[in-house]
Amino acid sequence: MSVYGIMAEFTGAEQLLAAARSARAAGYGDIEAYSPFPIEGLAEATGFRRNWVAAIVLAGGLAGGIGGYFMQWYSAALSYPINSGGKPPHSWPEFIPVTFELTVLVAAIAGVAGMLALNGLPRLYHPVFNVREFDLASRNRFFLCLRHADAEAAREFLGGLSPLGVWDVPA
Amino acid sequence: MADVAAPLRRWSYGSVSDKIADIVLARPTHWLWFAAFGAASLGTVAFVGAIGWLFVRGIGIWGVNIPTAWGFAIANFVWWIGIGHAGTFISAILLLLRQRWRTSINRFAEAMTLFAAGIAGIFPILHLGRPWFFYWLVPYPNVMELWPQWRSALVWDIFAISTYLIVSLLFWYVGLVPDLATLRDRAASRAKRIVYGLLALGWRGEARHWARFETVYLLLAGLATPLVVSVHSVVSLDFAIDIVPGYHSTVFPPYFVAGALFSGFAMVLTLAIPLRHFFRLHDFITDRHLENAAKVLLACGWVVAYGYFIETFTAFYSGDEFEIAMVKDRLLGFYGPVYWTVLACNVIAPQILWWRPARRSAWALFAVSLVVNLGMWLERVMIVVQSMHHDFLPSAWGNFIPTVWDWITFFGSIGFFAFLFLLFVRALPTISIFEMRELVMEEKKP
């Protein structure tokens, strides 16, 4: 039977953080940690390096703002200029509200879409869900999963971290 | 701020999750919920019926006419969108300010925002006269190559409201995803597991996912913060850009934003107090939370009072005879009683909140919140209607008397709001579960 990885269950955030760090120190390269709430430093402990979400939000905001202003300038000054109250066709102060709104809108949509895409979500099926105890990962338990490792050695290593239990995750 | 979360020392990750999740999953539905839901459904039917009749007969069924072309529809719009402010204020600005007490009230306040802003968005469309052409406000490819008029405050309005709605929805939904995963993993029946599972998008709480999640949540808060201020500012520009005495005023944007927070926090209290009572959430929504909300209410009330004062002062200081005549009419004219009721509800009544026992008493706060809700609605009616009924030429003056359809539409919208909110409290966690777990962890630290 092929396995997705070897998984250990812990009761606290500190244990999980310590376990992730020691697994990394022991040379395990592909580590996944699961927790019911965000834990500071856990992602870095599992080898997370570059968080692109902020850059995506910035790009979205720039695209929305520049695109929004361009749309108004193009339509009011170039495509269909009309005299409204004697204002110049390119009456930029009155283009600001829509520019602002589109900046925020596109930045927010890009941020959420980027976060989901980078996380590989939506993904309704995932091997870790096959572990019965994993239901508690969204409640009060903390899991560490070692992937692409020698199964026997990984079981032994995780067993030494005083977990509640160690399981094979079927692929 | 330490004692806000102090009752959480009694709770663990597991018990706090079960408590909030089981309100949705396990708790049998109380007969009072059915009674309230029945009443709210009736209101919804009335609302939909009134809209249907409006579409059949046109806006002649309302009391609006020249000179008062803006009636209840616009007042309701401004009132509802104002209520929709507190949710994002609590979620975004208080998150950035690291006010931990926000955690137990942000979820349902965001839901309130969403429902209120959605209902608000209906009214300008109803009021259009030819509502089926509302999409003309949006830039879209059309054979006549026409574009919206970017210099019009109404176009700013549709951009502001729809941006606010979409960003609020994203903010709310992103925050819900980990909690939906909790419901998925805890639900007993297969149908619930499938529904919550689909909504949870397969969330599994991996550390990298959390890292990206936290970044986007924080950035959404940062984006929503100027948005909150901008929405009601843009709404106020609908008025301030006009030359009608009583609309044409530079104080309008901050005055409207303060009024929005004022009515929004009043509605948060109106919803939080029964919610806490019926679902026994006293450890999460403590008296301290109510007290903090009361303080915000009091502070906003003073900004609103300042708005009333400066409006009147500016009219006389300007020496403009039309402005002065409008203010005299506001104080002593046909709608004078509305003005004095507004002052009593929004300026006098909240002053009881200086008194600490009143801030700590759920009953007193509930009463004040209802009075403020009423006062703010009357204020919107006063601004919209009274300014228009008495503009430049005496020959153009006239009174607006609401018809029965005006009232049905207004009360129906409240029924529809209650309908949505009652469904929300039975279907989704009313308090953010994963953030409560974080608080539990912080409380357990020595």
* pLDDT recorded at residue B228: 87
Residues in chain B with CB shorter than 8 Å from the CB of A94 are 150-151
Alpha carbon of residue A155 to chain centroid? 28
Report the candidate in B317, B185, B349, B200 with the shortest Cα–Cα distance to residue B249. B317
Cα-atom radius of gyration of chain B, to the nearest Å?
23
* pLDDT recorded at residue B17: 83
Residues in chain A with CB shorter than 8 Å from the CB of B146 are 80
Residues in chain B with CB shorter than 8 Å from the CB of A81 are none
CB B98 within 8 A of CB B438: no
- For the stretch B16-43, pLDDT in tens is 888 888 888 887 888 888 999 999 999 9
Distance to chain A for B95, nearest Cα, Å: 15
**H/E element holding B380?**
helix B362-381
Is B182's pLDDT higher than 50?
A: yes
**% of chain B with per-residue pLDDT over 70:** 98
Backbone angles phi, psi at A123, to 5 degrees: -140, 100
Q: What are residue A30's DSSP bridge partners?
A: A147
Tell me the helices (H) and strands (E) count for chain B, helix number first: 18, 0
- For the stretch B59-90, pLDDT in tens is 899 988 888 888 899 999 999 999 988 888 88
**H/E element holding B435?**
helix B433-444
In this prediction, residues B416-428 reach a mean pLDDT of 92
Burial of A12 per CB tally in 10 Å (0-12, 13-18, 19+): middle
Angle (CA) B180-B185-B189 rounded to 5° is 100
CB B210 within 8 A of CB B217: no
The pair of structure tokens assigned to A137 is: 């990962």
- SS3 label, residue A30: strand
The pair of structure tokens assigned to B434 is: 């994963």
Query: Using the beta-carbon criterion (under 8 Å), do B204 and A128 form an inter-chain contact?
Result: yes
In this prediction, residues B270-276 reach a mean pLDDT of 89
Is B225's pLDDT higher than 50?
A: yes
- For the stretch B327-383, pLDDT in tens is 999 999 999 999 999 999 999 999 999 999 889 888 999 999 999 999 999 999 999
Query: Using the beta-carbon criterion (under 8 Å), do A112 and B220 form an inter-chain contact?
Result: yes
Cα dihedral B424, B95, B268, B417 sign: negative
- For the stretch B90-113, pLDDT in tens is 878 888 887 777 787 888 888 999
Alpha carbon of residue A127 to chain centroid? 19
Residues of chain A with pLDDT under 50: none
Alpha carbon of residue A97 to chain centroid? 31
Residues in chain A with CB shorter than 8 Å from the CB of B181 are 138
Query: Using the beta-carbon criterion (under 8 Å), do B185 and A139 form an inter-chain contact?
Result: yes
Any idea which residue has 């020392």 for tokens?
A: B9
* pLDDT recorded at residue B178: 92
* pLDDT recorded at residue B2: 47
Report the candidate in A148, A143, A151, A144 with the shortest Cα–Cα distance to residue A168. A151
Report the candidate in B80, B149, B142, B91 with the shortest Cα–Cα distance to residue B117. B80
**H/E element holding A33?**
strand A30-34
Residues in chain B with CB shorter than 8 Å from the CB of A118 are 212
Q: Residue B213, Cβ neighbours under 10 Å: how many? A: 24
Report the candidate in B122, B56, B86 with the shortest Cα–Cα distance to residue B417. B122
* pLDDT recorded at residue A67: 96
Backbone angles phi, psi at A140, to 5 degrees: -150, 10
Query: Using the beta-carbon criterion (under 8 Å), do A136 and B185 form an inter-chain contact?
Result: yes
Report the candidate in B213, B223, B158, B154 with the shortest Cα–Cα distance to residue A103. B223
Q: Exposed e or buried b for every residue in A76-105, given b needs 16+ CB within 10 A? A: beeeeeeeeeeeeeebeebbebbbbbbbbb
Residues in chain A with CB shorter than 8 Å from the CB of B226 are 100, 104
What is d(CA A152, CA B44) in angstroms, rounded to the nearest whole number? 62
CB A56 within 8 A of CB B127: no
Q: Tell me if the bond preceding B131 is cis, omega within 30° of 0.
A: no
Any idea which residue has 């395990």 for tokens?
A: A28
Return the residue of A nearest to B234 by Cα.
A97
Lowest-pLDDT choice from A75-84, B146-155, B195-204, B433-442: B433-442
Mutation to test the B interface, candidates A30, A116, A139, A145, most B Cβ within 10 Å? A139
Any idea which residue has 């995780």 for tokens?
A: A158
Return the residue of A nearest to B160 by Cα.
A101
DSSP B137: G
Query: Using the beta-carbon criterion (under 8 Å), do A33 and B215 form an inter-chain contact?
Result: no
What is d(CA A29, CA A41) in angstroms, rounded to the nearest whole number? 17
Q: What is the DSSP string of B165-220?
A: HHHHHHHHHHHHHHHHHHHHHH-SSHHHHHHHHHHHTT---BHHHHHHHHHHHHHH
* pLDDT recorded at residue B1: 44
Whole-number average pLDDT of chain B: 88
What is d(CA B241, CA B247) in angstroms, rounded to the nearest whole number? 8
Any idea which residue has 């401004």 for tokens?
A: B78
* pLDDT recorded at residue B165: 92
Given pLDDT bands bounded at 50, 70 and 90, which one contains residue B412? very high
Cβ neighbours for B68, distance < 8 A, ≥ 6 positions apart = B385, B388, B389, B398, B399, B400
The pair of structure tokens assigned to A45 is: 């402990």
* pLDDT recorded at residue B162: 92
Kindly report the pTM of this predicted structure: 0.91
Mutation to test the A interface, candidates B11, B204, B228, most A Cβ within 10 Å? B204
Distance to chain B for A12, nearest Cα, Å: 9
* pLDDT recorded at residue B4: 64
Residues in chain A with CB shorter than 8 Å from the CB of B208 are 43, 46, 48, 119
**% of chain B with per-residue pLDDT over 90:** 42
What is d(CA B184, CA B203) in angstroms, rounded to the nearest whole number? 10
Nearest by CB to A101, from B160, B178, B434: name it: B160
* pLDDT recorded at residue B355: 92
